[in-house]
Structure 1
Amino acid sequence: MNLALFDLDNTLIAGDSDTEWPKFLIKRGILDPEHHARQNDYFYEQYKAGTLNILEFLDFQLAPLARFSRPELDALHAAYMEEHIKPIIPLKARELVAAHQAQGDVVMIITATNRFITGPIARELGVEHLIAVELEQDAAGNYTGKPTGTPSFQEGKITRLNEWLAARGETLQSYTDTFFYSDSRNDLPLLSIVSKPVAVDPDDTLRAHAEAHGWPVISLRG
């Protein structure tokens, strides 16, 4: 049996769900566009450079979730999916996921975006297993705007994956082949330990690394 891991943003979707969500909230008049644009640009430059302070970013990105009840957030997310996410899921991405499932592989999305955003996207793609940033909740089940546990970012993806595998009584070596599909230099730690790393529409750093190491480079766009 094989294990097929997929990054989400700019890999299985032709965009970034963490960026599309605030765009959606701005369109609804929920976020101030100028303030958010400044902060988002600040963090995005860090992300591209591989220097993102994930905890600082999460404090910024998750704060709006604390302003709404879960039913309110779920209603917003349903509209967000229709308007911002479904239009940017490439057919090739759906087909690649389905191909792994058809041959009996265990398929997982492993992402640095939070579970509230990504859970419905994983369901839309038909993917059962998801590792994402987990969110703190209060006694009523509403989000506090804070993360909990190890963020699944850079080396944190390895930590979280190993925890998931250990809970199943497995390691990466339990699988014949382990695939990881990603677009980002930030995923080089995990890409470097699977048996079948694949660069998908990669950034310049990942493309250069993939070419130097003979990794496949593919596109799911178009």
Structure 2
Amino acid sequence: MSKLAIFDLDHTLLPLDSDYEWGQFICRIGAIDAAAFEVRNAAFYLQYQNGTLDPLEYLEFAFGTLARFPRTELDAWHQQFMHEVILPAIRPEAVALVKRHQDDGDETLIITATNRFITAPIAHAFGIANLIAAEPELDHAGDFTGKSRGTPPFGPGKVTNLNAWLAAQDQRLEDFGASYFYSDSQNDIPLLSIVTHPVATNPNDLLAAHARAQGWPTLDLFNNQHQ
């Protein structure tokens, strides 16, 4: 039977938060008012870390920011963002983890609460074709409207989105001989709890405590330690 390896992105495969870093980047290049943006962005980031984030409220903020600019300009900025921020941060340990699953013939998938505009090029850089991410609404020209589509893949929403993605392929999670999910955050406990091989990866304190209580393995990916 085939196997499925699912990866969270921020602080799991990446040693940073790509959503937060994108905000810092567009402030740094002068695209938006840095003072006003950083106050709200930092507040949302703290809510995410604490597990109190309202994903729809955050996406309205994130997509509303993107909607101020034409897509061509955003795409050019994103190429610069990849070159300056993301590609230098990709660590060989993370690439090796993904490659190990792919070499074993496992299907690989990134599922992230960060939006598709930011994460699609990052998934491509890891060689992962399948991506579940927060989905922006686009107009007929391909520009952002400022609204989101569907259920945000945050917390239990990751389970909802995964099941929908599998159903679109006439599959269920139970159809796989083994399923892995690598994540750093307690926000992902709902999905970690339903795979056959949950791995607390670079876990924050709340997830580390939960993993110990459940007997889940812990992977400190960037120090290459597996417990």
TM tier, shorter chain? over 0.9
Q: Residues 16-55 of structure 1: matches in 2 within 5 Å?
A: 16-55=17-56
Q: Distance in 2 between matches of 1:41 and 1:21?
A: 12
- When structure 1 is superposed on structure 2, of 64-73 and 81-90 the one drifting more is 64-73
Aligned pairs for 1:183-222 within 5 A = 183-222=184-223
Residues in 1 aligned to 2:169 and 2:45: alpha-carbon distance in whole angstroms: 35
CA distance in 2, matches of 1:30, 1:71: 14
The CA distance in 1 between the partners of 2:136 and 2:22, in whole Å, is 16
Q: Is the 8 A contact 1:90 1:220 kept in 2?
A: no
Which runs of no fewer than 5 residues in structure 2 stay unpaired?
none
- What SS class does the counterpart of residue 170 from structure 1 fall into? coil
CA contact (8 A) 1:22 1:31 kept: no
Q: CA deviation at 1:178?
A: 0.4
Distance (whole Å) between structure 2 residues aligned to residue 16 and residue 155 of structure 1 = 20
What's the CA shift for 1:189? 0.4
Aligned equivalents of 1:62 and 1:184: distance in 2? 23
Question: What is the TM-score normalised by the length of structure 1?
Answer: 0.98
Tell me the distance in 1 between the aligned counterparts of 2:85 and 2:32. 16
2:94 is the counterpart of 1:73: no
- The 5 Å alignment of 1:44-193 reads 44-193=45-194
Q: Per-residue CA shift, 1:73-126, capped at 9, x if unaligned? A: 111110000111111111100000000000100000000000000000000000
> How many aligned residue pairs are there?
222
Whole-Å separation in 2 of the counterparts to 1:67 and 1:32: 12
- Across the aligned residues of Structure 1 and Structure 2, the Cα RMSD in angstroms comes to 0.9
Tell me the distance in 2 between the aligned counterparts of 1:132 and 1:41.
21
Q: CA deviation at 1:41?
A: 2.3
Distance across 2 between alignment mates of 1:199 and 1:32: 37
**Paired letter, 2:144:** Y
Kindly provide the amino acid, as one letter, of the partner of residue 114 in structure 2. T
4+ long deviations beyond 2 Å:
none
2-structure distance, mates of 1:110, 1:65: 21
Larger mean CA deviation between 122-131 and 211-220 belongs to: 211-220
Q: Secondary structure at the match of 1:145?
A: strand
8 Å CA contact 2:154, 2:187 repeated in 1: yes
CA shift digits 1:169-206 (9 cap, x unpaired): 11011001100000001000000010100011111000
Is the deviation greater in 24-33 or in 1-10?
A: 24-33
Using the alignment, how far apart are the partners of 1:21 and 1:133 within structure 2?
15
TM-score (norm. length: structure 2): 0.95
Structure 1 unaligned blocks of 5 or more: none
| Percent of residue pairs identical | 52
Asked whether the 8 Å contact 1:182–1:200 carries over to 2, the reply is: yes
* SS of equivalent to 2:86: helix
SS at the partner of 1:5?
strand
**C-alpha separation between the residues in 2 aligned to 1:68 and 1:55?**
21
